[in-house]
Amino acid sequence: MGVYLSTPKTEKFSEDGENGRVRFGLSSMQGWRATMEDAHAAYPDLDSNTSFFGVYDGHGGKVVAKFCAKFLHQQVLKSESYAAGDIVTSVKKAFFRMDEMMRGQRGWRELAVLGDKINKFTGMIEGLIWSPRGADANERVDEWAFEEGPHSDFSGPTCGSTACVAIIRNNQLLVANAGDSRCVISKRGQACNLSRDHKPDLEAEKERIIKAGGFIHAGRVNGSLNLARAIGDMEFKQNKFLPAEKQIVTANPDINVVELCDDDDFIVLACDGIWDCMSSQQLVDFIHDHLKSENKLSAVCERVLERCLAPSTLTGEGCDNMTMILVQFKKPICPSSQVEDESSPSSKPSIPEKTPEDNSLSGPEKIEAM
């Protein structure tokens, strides 16, 4: 089987949900690709005051995207930084933690389960037979125990995944991104990018890649990967003299924190299968137009996927896996003073103000200008 199918798989996985703060819809479709390598996470109630949404676009395989969809939000929630009120730090640590957790025997076993690697002789999922114990559903993820086994020296997967997540807490929105999936906000119909596509030819990415011993050829890292940041891809993270954020390819996310207001209509998180076919403003316009006649948000997402699907594989665009999450804010959005009055700092962490050390982006206006 080649990269593309003879006919596209147009069946869609769609979902809708809401709470007192937001309503969301999502849809994903395999399309022309031979396999589905996208994954997503949608938790409108990550805790009593926080919503979490994420899109993960795998490359070279599906397992890293599925691993992130299963574990990344858990790591954010269980972080000591999150409990202390520092959501920016908890998110940054969660991105790096994915790479750490995918190493060793335990990491290999989890990836094997997510990849459904069935041993043709035993009929069992590879890895489970070697594990000293099975996975405990009640086990704390932050107590990721080392396991002895034939894959104890596993350095992590050679495939990888982008990660673009949005966390909504009261009237604040945090967007963290590594890779070329994208988050866009509509402000009274005007599209503003809240994330940056991490391509190797960006000056900051190019500088890091070369300093770490890599090179760029034909727009690809070491002539292979067309992304400069990703979770997984361990072959590009082997320099033992450099920290994780300075490796050839890094999981270090750009983090952008914005204050929501009544001008904000919705946010969209989508993989590059969407952005290859529509600009940020084109997608926002398309959504606004369809919201006039369609109340179900997942149905709007489905229309986008259908709009982007190519009629054939001749052009390349519109032939990728496609995943999109649409999150609509319920009005009115509480002003900051009201949020502070209603929230107890000891029990409800807030998103702190950014500092230069956060490696954060300063807002949609700056990103749009890049």
User: What is the CATH number for 299?
Assistant: 3.60.40.10
Find the mean pLDDT for residues 183-189: 97
Residue 172's CB is within 10 A of a number of other CB atoms, namely 19
Domain count, the chain: 1
Contact in structure between 94 and 76 (CB atoms under 8 Å): yes
All residues at 6 or more sequence positions from 292 whose CB lies less than 8 Å from its CB, including other chains: none
In a domain, 228, yes or no: yes
> 265 lies in which domain range?
11-103+155-342
Residues 298-344 have pLDDT tens digits of: 999 999 999 999 999 987 799 999 999 999 999 766 544 444 444 44
C-alpha span between 343 and 351 (Å, rounded): 12
298-336 burial: b if 16+ Cβ within 10 Å, else e: bebbbbbbeebbbeebeeeebbbbbbbbbbbbeeebeee
- Global pTM exceeds 0.85: yes
In a domain, 63, yes or no: yes
SS3 state at 367: helix
pLDDT at 339: 41
pLDDT at 295: 93
Q: In this model, does residue 173 exceed pLDDT 70?
A: yes
pLDDT at 211: 96
Residues 29-86 have pLDDT tens digits of: 999 999 999 999 999 999 999 999 999 999 999 999 999 999 999 999 999 999 999 9
In a domain, 130, yes or no: no
Nearest to 274 by CA among 52, 31, 10: 31
In a domain, 128, yes or no: no
In a domain, 90, yes or no: yes
